[in-house]
Amino acid sequence: MNQSAQPQVFDLTIIGAGPTGLFGAFYAGMRELSCKLIDALPQPGGQITALYPEKKIYDTPGLVSIVGKDLVENLFDQAAQWGATFALGEQCDTLKRVPLPGGKPDEQCWVIGTSKADHYTRAVVIAAGIGAFRPVKLENESVDRFEDNGVVYFVRKIEAYAGKRVLIIGGGDSAVDWALATEPIAQQVTLIHRRDAFRAHDLSVNKLMQSKVDVKLFNELRELQGDGKLERAVIFDNRSHEETTLEVDGAILALGFKADLGPLREWGLETVGRRYLRVNSKMETNLPLVYAAGDLALQEDLDPLNLIVIGYGQVTVAVNYAYAALKPGGKVFPGHSSEKMAGK
């Protein structure tokens, strides 16, 4: 292999361009590591971009609230200032240990095989959120009939529900959040939930109960109806089986998502169940110079705490320990950001 044909080898490659990955790229730039981000989605933002770009986020430090897409834009600008390389729309399929191109005989690196290319890197941080995910669907023929024609599983543009009659199904954070987000602009919002206990944050549930949203507990969907477009929903009380017909223009099914590690399961990584990669306190996996951070990383004896703010902290730990491992004599502590930015 001649010099011109040798692939570029990055210091660090982050799999996943969601909030955790984007913040990791920022810290890689702070440590003057060459960094690449790879994501299967065609744009950065991960779950926020794919699932709730219009939803407000309240647990980002220093911000009372911020719309998801705006948070992603800010994180992207923060990461891009150091010249990070982005490979978007590429599904990561394989991870292999190979000789370092142009290096000494005993030097190795990782090559990440995607749907489009091979990416060479000295270290890897896996920040792929919940991994491969797909929405939980109801086994209901009438729902299938109106998919993308009145029925959605996540909202792209909240303005589409202005003046509309909206039915929301679910009892988790997404269902409650979308009910609260659509209530100010919709003509009517009805939320049905099959039981009386919510899986959402208490603060959000309290706001829901104080809002104008018509909350119908112990209710489930019987059938969606309409002539070419969604017009009605037949719901029923699962205790009495009494039916009610609602006039609706749109239905948001927020029933959660099924997550799986997907191809990552074949990489030789130590896993915990179907959703998590086992890491230590340095965010190291069992593979050399492969770290994990965010929703799919789980330390021994800890319960999952899938919050954006946790991902920020974990990826900061991962990147700084990767720096120390890549740079002989390098310190884990990066110094204060004010000093780094002053010298930029």
127 and 261 share a domain?
yes
Where b means 16+ CB within 10 Å and e means fewer, 301-334 reads: eeeeeeebebbbebbbbbbbbbbbbeeeeeeeeb
Q: Which residue has the higher pLDDT, 333 or 55?
A: 333
pTM, to two decimals? 0.77
142 and 118 share a domain?
no
pLDDT at site 343: 63
172 and 227 share a domain?
yes
Distances in Å between the Cα of 286 and the Cα atoms of 53, 277, 291 are 34, 9, 9
Is it the case that residue 284 has pLDDT exceeding 60?
yes
Mean of pLDDT values over 38-47: 88
Evaluated on CA atoms 243, 244, 249, 251, the torsion sign reads negative
Is it the case that residue 53 has pLDDT exceeding 90?
no
185, 171, 173, 205: which is closest to 249 by C-alpha? Answer: 185
68 and 185 share a domain?
no
Q: What is the per-residue pLDDT across 70-103, written as a single tens digit (0 to 9) for each?
A: 999 999 999 999 999 999 989 899 999 999 998 8
Domain boundary among 216, 232, 253: 253
56 and 175 share a domain?
no
Domain boundary among 197, 225, 253: 253
Is it the case that residue 302 has pLDDT exceeding 80?
yes
- CATH number of the domain at 159, please: 3.50.50.60
pLDDT at site 56: 85
CA 331 to chain centroid: 30
pLDDT at site 170: 96
Read off φ and ψ for residue 96, nearest 5 degrees: -135, 145
Tell me which of 170-179, 190-199, 329-338 is least confident.
329-338
Model confidence at 1, pLDDT cuts 50, 70, 90, reads very low
pLDDT at site 258: 76
Q: What is the per-residue pLDDT across 121-178, written as a single tens digit (0 to 9) for each?
A: 999 999 998 776 678 899 999 999 999 899 998 787 889 999 999 999 999 988 998 9
Domain boundary among 204, 236, 253: 253
271 and 333 share a domain?
yes
Tokens of 312: 């920020």
Tokens of 61: 């430090």
236 and 146 share a domain?
yes
127 and 51 share a domain?
yes
126 and 262 share a domain?
yes
pLDDT at site 131: 73
82 and 216 share a domain?
no
CA angle 141, 249, 221 (to 5 degrees): 40
Total domains in the chain come to 2
CA distance 342 to 340: 5
Q: For all residues of the chain together, what is the average pLDDT? A: 92
125 and 86 share a domain?
yes
249 and 269 share a domain?
no
Is it the case that residue 3 has pLDDT exceeding 70?
no
Helix residue spans in the chain (DSSP H):
19-30, 47-51, 68-80, 141-145, 173-182, 202-210, 308-326, 337-342
Model confidence at 2, pLDDT cuts 50, 70, 90, reads very low
pLDDT at site 108: 96
Domain hosting residue 230, numbered range: 137-253
Q: What is the per-residue pLDDT across 260-280, written as a single tens digit (0 to 9) for each?
A: 778 999 999 999 987 899 999
pLDDT at site 133: 66
Mean of pLDDT values over 248-259: 89
